[in-house]
Amino acid sequence: MQPLDDKKIGLLKEKAHDIRVSIIEMLVSAGSGHSAGPLGMADIFSALYFHILKHDPKVPTWPGRDRLVVSNGHICPVLYAAMAHSGYFPVSELLTLRKFGSRLQGHPHRDFLPMLETSSGPLGSGLSQAVGMALADRLDRGKDSGRFFYCVMSDGELDEGQSWEAVLLAGKEKLGNLIAIVDRNNIQIDGFTEDVMPLGSVAHKFESFGWHVEEIDGHNFEAIVESVGRAQAVFDGPSVIVARTIPGKGVSYMERDFKWHGNPPGTAIPGEPDPKEQAKIALHDLRTLDGQIEHE
């Protein structure tokens, strides 16, 4: 993986901006879907699809590609937007999200979009899938196959016991080709994670099971790329990147508000902006976020 320079950081910021705008447009067109998590993960998905992953949108089944498992399937708007902007399918198709006949289901589904690595929806199962893939790759190709298996997870899904079974197995098998990324945004659909089911230190938990741990600001591109680089250099065990993110990042009325976990712009919520104005406010906020280039 190449180091970042200022030009590449600028490109990643622009792609993250485009992804966030697409997320809002998709959700408004669908009239349903999740907002907070996808917006919060846009920087990480920009880094993955435009710098970190070995992949080829023109040859989606290239055997040498890295694998990306999105365990928290409800954040699929950010996955679809990243895939479209990197060339897997037309950006215009994003507006078919959650509609009858669309390939872009409300949770990722391989039967509809074959270039996906997995179908997802039941929280807690993705890491088990990624562990199985990473273990099979090692059995088939040896320790130095040259590809990595990434699993994006939510912090809320760590409430699921199956997640920790996978953590245990990955540690036991010392899967150096496995890198998990936990979206530590501190919210889930019913409230704040520490109120629903306190997680405490996610980093310490993984570390106690034999994982290499990185804790980063999930909106800092240098931190994202450097943490993945360090994880790739760990050969004797799995790695986890605990990425602190702001749910609803870039949209003023959504940031850090768990009510937007599972609601799209246009939803009537007490204390929130007029539903008819929410999309307009969101797009305005995103076009002025951190001095991003304004796209008309």
Give the pLDDT confidence score for residue 177 in this predicted structure: 97
Give the pLDDT confidence score for residue 121 in this predicted structure: 81
Query: Total structural domains in the chain?
Result: 1
Q: Is 197 a member of any domain? A: yes
Q: Is 240 a member of any domain? A: yes
Per residue in 128-160, pLDDT (tens digit) is 999 999 999 999 987 777 899 999 999 999 999
Q: Is 1 a member of any domain? A: no
First to last CA, the chain: 33
In this predicted structure, the answer to whether residue 291 has a pLDDT above a threshold of 70 is no
Tell me the mean pLDDT in the region 252-256: 97
Q: Is 296 a member of any domain? A: no
DSSP 112-145: T-TTSS----STT-HHHHHHHHHHHHHHHH-TT-
Which residue range forms the structural domain that includes residue 126?
Answer: 6-291
CATH number for the domain spanning 126: value is 3.40.50.970
Tell me the mean pLDDT in the region 165-173: 98
Q: Is 13 a member of any domain? A: yes
Give the pLDDT confidence score for residue 3 in this predicted structure: 86
What sign results for the dihedral spanned by CA atoms 11, 13, 16, 22?
negative
Phi, psi of 193 (to 5 degrees): -55, -40
Q: Is 91 a member of any domain? A: yes
Q: Which residue has the tokens 């929806």?
A: 121
Confidence of residue 295 (pLDDT cuts 50, 70, 90): very low
Per residue in 21-72, pLDDT (tens digit) is 999 999 999 999 999 999 999 999 999 999 999 999 999 999 999 999 999 9
Per residue in 86-99, pLDDT (tens digit) is 999 999 999 999 99
Q: Is 94 a member of any domain? A: yes
Q: Is 90 a member of any domain? A: yes
The share of the chain scoring above pLDDT 90, in percent, equals 93
For residue 201 the two structure tokens come to 């230190």
Per residue in 73-126, pLDDT (tens digit) is 999 999 999 999 999 999 999 999 999 999 999 999 999 999 999 999 889 999
Other CB atoms within 10 A of residue 80 CB: 29
Give the pLDDT confidence score for residue 292 in this predicted structure: 52
